[in-house]
Amino acid sequence: MNKRSELSRSLTLTDAVAIGVASMVGAGVFVVWQPAALAAGNLLLVALVIAALVAWANATSSAQLAAQYPAAGGTYVYGRERLGPWPGYLAGWSFVIGKTASVAAMALAFAAYLAPADWQKPVAIAAVWALVGINLLGVTRTAQVAKVLASLALIGIVTALCVGWFGNGATGSFGWAAFTGGPYGVLQAAGLLFFAFAGYARIATMGEEVTNPERTIGRAIITALVIVLVLYAVVGISLLVLVGPELLAQSTAPLTLLVDGAPIPKAVLTGGAIAAIAGALLGLLSGIGRTFLAMSREGDLPRFFDHTHPTTKVPHRIELLLGVILTVVLMLVDLRGAIGFSSFGVLLYYFVANLSAYTQDEAHRRYPKAWQVFGALLCLVLVATLPWQSVLAGLAVLALGVLWRIVRPRTLR
């Protein structure tokens, strides 16, 4: 392996779980409920169950693959090893592009909690560079910050739920008898809600940075997902009962409705939301960097980025490039509606993961093949039912990736 791009193997199981939870919670609890409720109505919980099942199938495939291939890059590496260069490349390209758009959207959501409209883009850019700076300090610093941010996020969520249940009381009009979402709406909502679970992909990209990766990565993925599954179920039920699907579909910050008229709990919730989104951004940035590094090693992206800092062992050139790209994107485009685009890329990424896990032999198999078939099929179904604008944008970016790999300089091949 190229010594210039050596990563530091220093993360424990607790570190990996904290990074996974921080990556998932910020992406889901404070962002995704409104568009999902708009699509599914009273059937929001059905959509959540479907999204959770897809997430579980994908997580088990990732855990099984990570045990056999403990290397940075996640499904990009698994696809190359099990299916060939092109499937691996398309998985890596989908991940990098989709997650970069997701970072921009999350940065704007972060700024929305802190600043008035005129200052939101400068605050979002400042947040991106602050988190790039943390990542540049090394992966152990990333893990330490992720633990703090995940704890603050959970405190804010629990505070809002306690006030909602024991302070304000139930005010929603939720009832199982009055279904308002059809099958298409439920599947579309499931695809959008999957965005909230996609953070465990960050754990799979850390194959060269955790201790005992063959054992640690799989346990960390499943543990983080179970924690988040329980949290999302509690939050989803609480929002439907206490707020109702109609009001939920109209609010971009539905958890704040639980603490209206309670300034101290509202401040705690706002702090938790900021911490959660910052944690998700931190995990996303570092995850993109590791996949980008793996693709550069193979020549699928410029080899200039196949380099890590001699002291901190992080891919600093990639982190700085991401900071520059996100600065330009945030200055020019409002990407708060990028959840669908991100889901498009990540679902294709996990489609490749499921196919890769299906080809593993019995010696490396930990879960039945039926889970991989189920996961792959539902990934395609959910992609097809995403908003058409997201599907078209995703296909266009996928075509650009294919074109780049065909015409890339001969020296990279």
Condensed to tens digits (0 to 9), the pLDDT of residues 95-133 reads: 888 888 788 878 887 787 777 778 888 998 998 898 888
Structure tokens at 55: 């997430």
Query: Which amino acid belongs to residue 401?
Result: G
Farthest CA pair distance, the chain: 65
Locus of tokens 């997201």: 390
Per-residue confidence band for 207, with pLDDT thresholds at 50, 70 and 90: low
The burial of 131, by beta-carbon neighbours within 10 Å (0-12 exposed, 13-18 middle, 19 or more buried), is given as buried
Res 257: pLDDT: 82
380 versus 19: the higher-pLDDT residue is 380
The burial of 155, by beta-carbon neighbours within 10 Å (0-12 exposed, 13-18 middle, 19 or more buried), is given as middle
368 versus 270: the higher-pLDDT residue is 368
The burial of 83, by beta-carbon neighbours within 10 Å (0-12 exposed, 13-18 middle, 19 or more buried), is given as middle
Mean pLDDT computed over 61-78? 84
Report which of 107, 283, 314 is spatially closest to residue 203, judged by C-alpha positions.
Answer: 283
Classified as helix, coil or strand, 8 is coil
Using the predicted structure, report yes or no on whether residue 351 has a pLDDT greater than 80: yes
Note the pTM of the prediction, 2 decimals: 0.80
The burial of 143, by beta-carbon neighbours within 10 Å (0-12 exposed, 13-18 middle, 19 or more buried), is given as buried
| Element of type H or E holding 128 | helix 120-136
Res 350: pLDDT: 92
Report which of 165, 178, 182 is spatially closest to residue 241, judged by C-alpha positions.
Answer: 165
Q: Which of 150-154, 335-339, 374-378, 384-388 has the lowest mean pLDDT?
A: 335-339
Q: Which long-range contacts (CB under 8 A, 24 or more apart) does 136-139 make?
A: 136/309, 136/312, 136/314, 136/316, 136/319, 136/320, 137/312, 137/314, 138/8, 138/312, 138/313, 138/314, 139/7, 139/8, 139/10, 139/11, 139/206, 139/209, 139/286, 139/313, 139/314
State the CB neighbour count (10 A cutoff) for residue 139: 24
Mean pLDDT rounded to a whole number for the chain? 82
Per-residue confidence band for 176, with pLDDT thresholds at 50, 70 and 90: very low
**CB 354, CB 57: distance < 8 Å:** yes
CA separation for the pair 48, 102 (Å, rounded) = 20
**CB 242, CB 258: distance < 8 Å:** yes
